[in-house]
Amino acid sequence: MIRTLDDLDAAGTTVGVRVDVNSPLGDDGRLADDARIRAHVDTLSELIERDARVVVLAHQGRPGGDEFSTLESHAERLDELLSGPVSYSDAIFSADAREAVRALDDGEALVLENTRFYSEEYMAFEPSAAAETHMVAKLSSVLDCFVNDAFAAAHRSQPSMVGFSTALPAYAGRVMETELEVLGNIDETATPRVYVLAGAKVVDSIDVARSVLERGLADAVLTAGIVGNTFLLADGVTLGAASASIVNDRSADAVKRAGDLLDDYGHRIYLPRDVAIERGGERVELDLSELPTTEPAMDVGSRTIAAYADVLEDAGTAILNGPAGVFEEELFAYGTKELYTAATRAEYSIVGGGDTAAALRRLGIDDFSHISTGGGACLRMLTGDTLPAVEVLDRY
């Protein structure tokens, strides 16, 4: 069983709370999108209002990457959003940082520095070894318990994700609780159940497709984006050099795996009927019979959109992950916009998070039953895998 905030006697206790506020940053290095921060407001404000002393742990970016930064602007945003005062420490577990934790009063919050500034945080550990890392051991000495609300990082077995939950009494936060409830009970949602697998995560999407088809969860799998192009190649369609290279860059054996899936479950897998390319600065749609072309396929075409929209509107449950095309360019946002809008008319709709959620915010579509905060974590759950950070919580 997983304990939740309902099981926690919060008043006067010092609670470490792992959140996932890994966010896009602007050119000035400050937050460009606060959606992931807002997602955790319920958990953090609830703890503050229940008089806990809240110590926030989170990562931002990856070492060496453009978005690897401090959490200073995240802390400032939390101070604006939360119901109690929020301070910031530019260290994670130094003597000063631990002193700042000890100095907290009931109903106050402290954001510690980016956990990935500590080198071991970017490594995978068994839970018991994670509990003995410097960061977890030092900080656990000033914490009474731990709340994991970082569903979006729950597929990582990094020290802050599995170590604190092993070293301390551990609870799921409200985001984690909701995600597990929705994504863990897909088999109970209304049928027909339709999966839209799109975007660029080709291998992950093929894994999801195989898993949900094998487990009898999917009545239909609609493919689009680079995932769709991969299935078209597997079906013998010659897309043209440019599109084919997009697919091949991502994974050498993806086409073969897509082909195997078509052999096994082809009757339940839908392939694009047409594609949109850019020619002379215009959107031009080509039927499959007009391929190959030298221009890359940037979106699905209107015939695909109409066919997929029919299936989605009649769905009991629509589960979508990834954009149907290069939605960042106005000419090619059409497929993504239309398919996701059609999915809002299904009885129940679930959208995979990460880049997809950001795309939908940009397109102004948000009328879904559930938008996951997780990208990779959501895909992993959809394949039926257990997530390491959830496994360690599930021990009561």
Using CB under 6 A, list all residues that contact ligand 3PG: 20, 22, 62, 152-153, 156, 354, 375-376
Tell me how many degrees the CA angle 225-230-235 measures, rounded to the nearest 5: 125
- Decide whether 156 or 193 has the Cβ nearer to ligand 3PG: 156
Task: Identify which of residues 68 and 265 has a Cβ nearer to ligand 3PG in the complex.
Answer: 68
Residue (301 or 376) nearer to ligand 3PG, CB: 376
| 275: helix, strand or coil | strand
CB of 335 to ligand 3PG, least distance (A): 24
| Nearer to ligand 3PG among residue 153 and residue 288 (C-beta) | 153
Q: Least distance to ligand 3PG from the beta carbon of 251, Å? A: 18
Q: What b-and-e string marks burial along 120-130, b requiring 16 or more CB atoms within 10 Å of the CB? A: bbbeebebebb
At residue 302, what is the residue type?
S
Between 22 and 317, CB nearer to ligand 3PG: 22
* CA 34/CA 25 separation, integer angstroms: 10
Starting from the edge strand earliest in sequence, which strands make up the sheet with 282-287, in order? Answer: 282-287, 274-279, 299-300
Q: Are 326 and 296 in contact (CB under 8 A)?
A: no
H or E element in which residue 57 lies:
strand 53-57
To the nearest whole angstrom, how small is the minimum distance from the Cβ of residue 305 to ligand 3PG? Answer: 28
CB of 62 to ligand 3PG, least distance (A): 5
Q: Which of 29, 34, 83 is nearest to 61 (CA)?
A: 29
What is d(CA 44, CA 86) in angstroms, rounded to the nearest whole number? 11
Distance CA 74, CA 90 (A): 12
Chain mean position to CA 37: 14
Q: Residue 291 burial (CB < 10 Å; 0-12/13-18/19+)?
A: middle
Which is it for strands 145-148 and 14-18: parallel, antiparallel or unpaired? Answer: parallel
Q: Return the structure tokens found at 47.
A: 């703890």
Could you tell me which residues are beta bridge partners of residue 348? Answer: 317
In the complex, the smallest distance separating the C-beta of residue 104 from ligand 3PG, rounded to whole angstroms, is 26
Query: With respect to ligand 3PG, which residue has the nearer C-beta, 13 or 373?
Result: 373
**Shorter beta-carbon distance to ligand 3PG: residue 149 or 338:** 149
- Shortest distance in whole angstroms from residue 354 CB to ligand 3PG: 5
159 preceded by cis ω (within 30°)? no
Between 67 and 214, CB nearer to ligand 3PG: 67
DSSP for 298-321 reads -EE-HHHHHHHHHHHHT-SEEEEE
Nearest distance, CB of residue 346 and ligand 3PG, angstroms: 25
343, 319 Cβ separation under 8 angstroms: no
Q: Which is nearer to ligand 3PG, 240 or 354 (CB)?
A: 354
Burial (CB < 10 A; 0-12, 13-18, 19+), residue 317, is buried
Judge whether 32 and 8 are in contact, CB under 8 Å: no
CB closer to ligand 3PG out of 20 and 338:
20
d(C-alpha 300, C-alpha 388), whole Å: 36
- Closest residue to ligand 3PG using C-beta atoms: 22
Closest CB 123 distance from ligand 3PG, rounded Å: 12
Q: How far is the CB of 174 from ligand 3PG (least distance, A)?
A: 18
Closest approach of ligand 3PG to the CB of residue 375, in Å: 4
